[in-house]
Amino acid sequence: MGLCALVGACGDVAGDGDASTTTSEGSTASVSATGTGESTTGVADTGTSNGSAATSSTSIADTSTAGEVGGSTQAVDTTGGERLSFVAVTFNTGGHADGEDDVADEWYGNGLSWIPAVEQTQAFFADLQPDVVVFQEVFHSPDCAEIPVEYHEGYVCESWSEGDPTVAQVILGAGYQVACHLGKTDKCAAVKQTFGTFVGCDSDFCLDGLAGGEVEGCGSGSRIGRGVIQLTAGGTLTVVNVHGTSGFLPADQLCRVAQIDQVFVDLDGEPAANGVLDLVLGDFNTDPGRAAFTDLSAARWNDFVGDDLPFHFVTDVGPDAQPTYAGLVNIDHQVSDALTGTCWHPGITAGTDPVVDFDYFDHVPAVCDLTLR
């Protein structure tokens, strides 16, 4: 796909038309953004390299700080005992194989679907065993039913049948629970079930399992998805998957501004991030460290995330950050109000291998080892 502009001027899975919605009680997050299609491209950001990641144990003790989550009081450790510690990944899996551009784009929305890429990505996650993962542009296998059979060969549709797991489940393997955005089957979050489970999701896979809301004029479905994880060690973790609208025109920027406001101001009557124990991560489709003077949405991220603000970047950000997309920008990030850690990027961070050994993905995942501050 290539770099379309300095800040996320590419696309998402198969273009949507405009859609309208209100996102909260008494508050409407809407912008006029005619001509804004959906599709995305980007890269993982580069955090402080640790060279590799290992599965982390999780525990919360001496629960002394409480906050409101979904109407009930939850607590996390801020005093003694072992701290919450885990591995989180954000990965935009959009891409295509050489020679397959037309098929991948027209029928699979460039979502992860080509069998060799699926198999090597499965091996990557089998080695990593992360606790929390968010995906953007991951192919939803039940859509195979709508794809003509002549375009199945070489893709997951080749052997898919009704009832089979979808791609996100395949690449993560057993033991994960997957929940997707409202009206967006290509954007999903996953949690290892030994780490926790999504509140309100009672099966291994939940379509429309994350809270969200559309932004008028910015495509259909919700590009912000909030899931509350009930931790096996006690307490909750709120995970917010972000897939900002692509493009660098003023209308595209305003779409992203409205989506950022869903994260921090109002998604569905309350912010997506609730200010207790939050992890906000995904493909921002803008570079907050480089584009703040040219992109309203980059500047808007910096209104909420920074050294002297409640939220901070866990991934590296700024003009001196090692670029992880097309050698120019950092648009995939992890942000938190209560977690800190170190991040690495397969094939970019020294001593690490890429997810696949051929050209396929437009993004490099950001893998972060996180702990309570």
State the Rg of the chain over Cα. 19
What does each C-alpha distance from 48 to 292, 319, 331 come to in angstroms?
22, 15, 16
How far apart CA 365 and CA 343 sit, in angstroms, is: 10
The type of residue at 159 is S
Give the pLDDT of the chain (373 residues) as one tens digit per residue: 333 444 443 444 333 433 333 333 333 333 433 333 333 333 333 333 333 333 343 333 332 232 332 333 333 443 345 689 999 999 999 998 776 668 999 999 999 999 999 999 999 999 999 999 999 999 999 999 999 999 999 999 999 999 999 999 999 999 999 999 999 999 999 999 999 999 999 999 999 999 999 999 999 999 999 999 999 999 999 999 999 999 999 999 999 999 999 999 999 999 999 888 999 999 999 999 999 999 999 999 999 999 999 999 999 999 999 888 877 899 999 999 999 999 999 999 999 999 999 999 999 999 999 999 8
The pLDDT of residue 101 is 64
Task: Please give the span between the terminal C-alpha atoms of the chain, in angstroms, as a whole number.
Answer: 38
**How many Å separate Cα 305 from the centre of its chain?**
17
How far apart CA 11 and CA 23 sit, in angstroms, is: 23
Q: Coil, helix or strand for 110?
A: coil
The pLDDT of residue 78 is 37
How far apart CA 100 and CA 114 sit, in angstroms, is: 9
Q: Coil, helix or strand for 302?
A: helix
Q: In the chain, what are the domains? A: 86-372 (3.60.10.10)
How far apart CA 217 and CA 34 sit, in angstroms, is: 6
* pTM summary value: 0.81
Quote the tokens at residue 63: 């629960």
The type of residue at 247 is G
β-strands 85-92, 132-136 pairing: parallel
Residue with tokens 């921090």, as numbered in its chain: 264
